[in-house]
Amino acid sequence: MKRSVLIAGTHSGVGKTTVAMGVMAALTKRNMKVQPYKVGPDYIDPTHHTAICGRSSRNLDTFMMGVDGVRRTVDNSYKDADISVIEGVMGLYDGMNSTEIASSAHVAKSLGIPVILVVNVHGMSRSAAAIVKGFTEFDKDVNIAGVILNRVGSPRHAQMIKDVLPDIPVVGTVPRNNDIKVPSRHLGLHMASEQDYDVGKLAEFIEENVDIDEILSLASEPKKPEVEDDRCVGNMSEVTIGVARDDAFCFYYEEMFDMFRKCGAKIEFFSPLDGDIPEVDGMYFGGGYPELNIAELEKSRTTKKLKDFSADGMPIYGECGGLQYLCSSYEIEDVVYKMADLFPAETILTKRLQALGYTEGVAKGKFINGPVRGHEFHYSLTECDSDSRLIYEMSRGKGIMNGKDGITEHNSLASYMHAHPGSFPVDSFVEQCRKYGRK
């Protein structure tokens, strides 16, 4: 039987990421094959999961993927694993607006798996019992099977809380440890490639303070999908898509690569920072940190040649950081840097958060036509020329301007929306790349 468990918190900042990563590390140290997942539209935490487990972490989101999409992703990605560990998002019940949609609780219910609740008990004792009681009774369809008490001050402190908790197993009492933490910046944690924490020490720390055997005994088999994804069942002739992946472009859903391959595409990763120009039939620029690598990008051979590829009709798709890069310029602290100039628009880095949240829109374009769901999170503004074409009509989210997103030119498209393959027409994009390759 395949086993799965979701590690959630009462709210953001309780330590669920550290605990989840530690549980993954402890299980991996036992030579178990651990398939990691992350609830929500998070690109950064999954890089840490992947580094720890040696398996690509995937996102689970009931808004962007639907219930069956979540089940399909789990069913397709951990067939040869011993256990899957899912890290939650925000607080257990925090979903979109005042609903359960996109919450950790909704993912757990969709999969029919147990939840281990992480509670930060710093500065409280008996009150912790009230919190746990409230969480267990709020939605009886959510199976909170165990509790981990985090930031415990002493064994006595832990025992005081255990004595008054409702009838629920305490599977861990984790003491305060300021030496184990992952540094962060404006878009979240540092990427795994920048890690300066010791995974071995993290595994030992969690193994000492969490009953890993009990977590294994509580884990259960997730539900199977009811409907399969029938996209990409036609033409499978050869096509190659270049995916920019380096320190500047590093925000991607692994499921997007899965869908590219399912549609018959070979993926060629390349680095615009290194000036690589791959032999491909289309290109994809994800989000990331172009602002931290802006001088190198301005000088890059890739930057200087992309406009010619676009004018020739090559399909080129960019998201957020990719959008910023594909504009004509990027202004940072009053310095204007020349970018790839695929679109008649300029981007300005701001000190204030400009947009954060789920997005939804209807697109009418060459390789994208219909509803698309995703997420936006950026500290920049993009100002378009008056003759720019924006093809997303947004019903949710800010987009580029005036309720619109998705700037297009030739066969190129870029948006602030990070689209998810659950709704993004990957099959259509791949087919456009295939047609271009036949020219």
Query: What confidence score (pLDDT) does residue 104 get?
Result: 98
Tokens coding 341:
């100039």
Beta strands in 320-424 (DSSP E): 327-332, 335-338, 343-349, 355-364, 369-378, 380-384, 389-396, 404-409, 412-415, 418-419
Indicate the range of 160-164, 183-187, 258-262, 265-269 predicted with least confidence: 183-187
What is the CATH number assigned to the segment(s) 239-437? Answer: 3.40.50.880
The reply to whether CATH 3.40.190.10 applies to domain 3-218 is no
Question: What would the pLDDT profile of 282-300 be if each residue is shown by its tens digit?
Answer: 999 999 999 999 999 999 9
The neighbour count for residue 94, using CB atoms within 10 Å, is 20
pTM of the model: 0.93
Helical residues (DSSP H) of 219-283, grouped into ranges? 254-262
Query: What confidence score (pLDDT) does residue 197 get?
Result: 63
- Is pLDDT at 61 greater than 70 in this prediction? yes
Helical residues (DSSP H) of 210-358, grouped into ranges? 212-218, 254-262, 294-299, 301-311, 321-326
Question: What would the pLDDT profile of 89-135 be if each residue is shown by its tens digit?
Answer: 999 999 999 999 999 999 999 999 999 999 999 999 999 999 999 99
Question: What would the pLDDT profile of 169-224 be if each residue is shown by its tens digit?
Answer: 999 999 987 766 655 544 455 555 556 568 889 999 999 999 999 999 999 999 99
Distance CA 225, CA 293 (A): 42
Query: What confidence score (pLDDT) does residue 176 get?
Result: 86
Alpha-carbon dihedral angle through residues 81, 203, 128, 164, given to the nearest 10 degrees: 90
- Is pLDDT at 272 greater than 90 in this prediction? yes
Distance CA 255, CA 419 (A): 11
The neighbour count for residue 435, using CB atoms within 10 Å, is 17
Report the DSSP beta bridge partners of residue 394.
361
DSSP designation for 193: G
- Is pLDDT at 51 greater than 60 in this prediction? yes
Indicate the range of 98-102, 163-167, 240-244, 386-390 predicted with least confidence: 163-167
Could you give the percent of the chain with pLDDT greater than 90?
86
Residue 415 confidence class, pLDDT cut points 50, 70, 90: very high
Query: What confidence score (pLDDT) does residue 185 get?
Result: 44
Pairing assessment for the beta strands 184-185 and 188-189 based on DSSP bridges = antiparallel
Indicate the range of 137-146, 250-259, 358-367, 370-379 predicted with least confidence: 358-367
Distance CA 300, CA 295 (A): 9
Average pLDDT over residues 389-411: 96
Residue 438 confidence class, pLDDT cut points 50, 70, 90: confident
For CATH 3.40.50.880, the residue range(s) in the chain are: 239-437
Query: What confidence score (pLDDT) does residue 232 get?
Result: 76
Could you give the percent of the chain with pLDDT greater than 70?
95
Tokens coding 258:
């899965």
Which residues are annotated as catalytic?
Answer: 320
Q: Residue 5 in 3-state DSSP?
A: strand
Tokens coding 209:
């303070």
For CATH 3.40.50.300, the residue range(s) in the chain are: 3-218
- Smallest CA-to-CA distance from 418 within 365, 371, 357 is with 357
Question: What would the pLDDT profile of 319-375 be if each residue is shown by its tens digit?
Answer: 999 999 999 999 999 999 999 999 999 999 999 999 999 999 999 887 788 899 999
Average pLDDT over all residues of the chain: 93
Dihedral sign (CA 181, 184, 190, 194): negative
